[in-house]
Amino acid sequence: MALIEFEHVFKRYPGSSNAAVDDLNLHIEAGEFLTLLGPSGSGKTTTLMLLAGFEAPSAGSIRLDGQSIESLPPHQRNMGVVFQSYSLFPHMTVAENVAFPLSVRKVDKSVIADKVTAALTKVHLENFTHRKPNQLSGGQQQRVALARALVFEPRLVLMDEPLSALDKKLREEMQLEIRRLHRELGVTMVFVTHDQSEAMTLSDRVAVFNQGRIEQLASPQALYDAPANPFVANFLGDNNMLNCTLASGGVKTASGQVLQARICATTAFENEAAVKLCVRPEFLQVGADCAALATPNCLNGTLVDLIHQGDHWRVVARLTALEGGPHSAALQWFAKVSPGALPPGLVVGQNVSLGFRPEDAWVF
């Protein structure tokens, strides 16, 4: 039995024509790190609030260890919550903030002191007990919020975009810190974010949300390597897309060129059906012409931009052979090319070719 079970859960807000959560079925296993990923308004935070008890479902059931928890108030669910805004009490010290969940649970003061020390040690803040939140950096405040969520040893820790206010370097450091805590403590964690790199870094599984529903639930690698549809392919990682039609020998572009690619196994197509061809930029090879590329698939274009991004070049090309077609007004694709694989002497405005293997492209 899963630790948490959502069964046909709906959440509708008054005055809204669409459900914020629409027939959600989701099982969360004990000890896993599950990320709810999606754009703003996709239902991921509402799902977290339903689990925490801050929102009530309009229909359906939510179970913990097989027992319904819809009627349980938040403080009886034994779940730690870390909010985006940290929500620390400014008039309290670090130790007092972390002790607060134990105080409201009427834990003995002698026990509280030991638990607070242990929780702050886990997040490497044992020497900051007497400071106030305004004396801490953003990353340190986030660590206090984590310690407060962990101090009463909850069954689950729920985190609602807790790193979004941090700068890039600090956010990456905190991602590693959260990974370490999950690995060491083995507590079940449910994490909400719209940041794909966070989801890839932290998760055992990722649920990709869109319009209140889960588009795909899988490991980060499975989502990246085998997306279920164009929405998932676009949201998790960079992607190039091209509108095509299904032909007997592969997929046909607007110019009539036929390309070879994998057909998404979850989709049933008829011949001449409208489809989307998807290729990730790191799988594209760049050459002066198709003859220079050892790939069965090749698209010709004009070099629009060439951008150095440290460990790779971003090569942007307009697919000139498709201009004037019904789907491709100035259609642009881009490739990520390592410095050693970049053809010498590329100049903006010249002709280039983009090649890719059939196994590196998906058709939806």
Same domain, 76 and 203: yes
Q: Which residue has 């004990």 as its token pair? A: 30
**In this structure, how many other beta carbons lie within 10 angstroms of the beta carbon of residue 151?**
24
Give residue 328's pLDDT.
Answer: 46
- Could you tell me the end-to-end alpha-carbon distance of the chain, in angstroms, rounded to an integer? 34
Same domain, 151 and 211: yes
Give residue 166's pLDDT.
Answer: 82
Q: Do 353 and 287 touch, CB atoms closer than 8 A?
A: yes
CATH of the domain at 321: 2.40.50.140
- SS3 breakdown of the chain: % helix, strand, coil, rounded to 5? 30, 30, 40
- Tally of domains in the chain: 2
* Burial group, residue 287, by CB count within 10 angstroms (0-12, 13-18, 19+): middle
The pTM of the full predicted model, rounded to 2 decimals, is 0.89
Please name the amino acid found at residue 193: T
Q: Do 268 and 231 touch, CB atoms closer than 8 A?
A: no
How far is the CA of 149 from the CAs of 80, 186, 210, 244, in angstroms?
A: 4, 14, 28, 50
Give residue 324's pLDDT.
Answer: 47
Same domain, 69 and 202: yes
Same domain, 180 and 246: no
CATH of the domain at 22: 3.40.50.300
Last residue of a domain, one of 230, 261, 294: 230
Same domain, 11 and 128: yes
Interstrand relation of 361-363 and 262-263 (parallel, antiparallel or unpaired): parallel
Give residue 294's pLDDT.
Answer: 85
DSSP state for residue 50 in the 8-state scheme: H
Q: Per residue in 263-314, pLDDT tens?
A: 876 666 777 888 899 999 999 999 988 888 989 999 999 999 999 999 999 9
Same domain, 206 and 267: no
Residue partners of 168: CB distance under 8 A and separation at least 6: none
- Spell out, as residue ranges, where the chain has pLDDT lower than 50: 324-329
H/E element, 274: strand 274-279
Residue partners of 114: CB distance under 8 A and separation at least 6: none
Same domain, 277 and 174: no
User: Containing domain of residue 275, as a range?
Assistant: 238-363
Same domain, 20 and 93: yes
Q: Do 235 and 40 touch, CB atoms closer than 8 A?
A: no
Q: Which residue has 């807790």 as its token pair? A: 162
**Distance separating alpha carbons of residues 351 and 163, to the nearest angstrom:** 43
Last residue of a domain, one of 230, 261, 287: 230
Last residue of a domain, one of 204, 230, 256: 230
State the chain's mean pLDDT as an integer. 90
Same domain, 196 and 252: no
Q: Per residue in 166-176, pLDDT tens?
A: 888 888 988 99
The overall longest dimension of the chain from CA atoms, in Å, is 77
Same domain, 170 and 26: yes
Same domain, 117 and 182: yes
Give residue 267's pLDDT.
Answer: 64
Give residue 240's pLDDT.
Answer: 94
Same domain, 270 and 347: yes
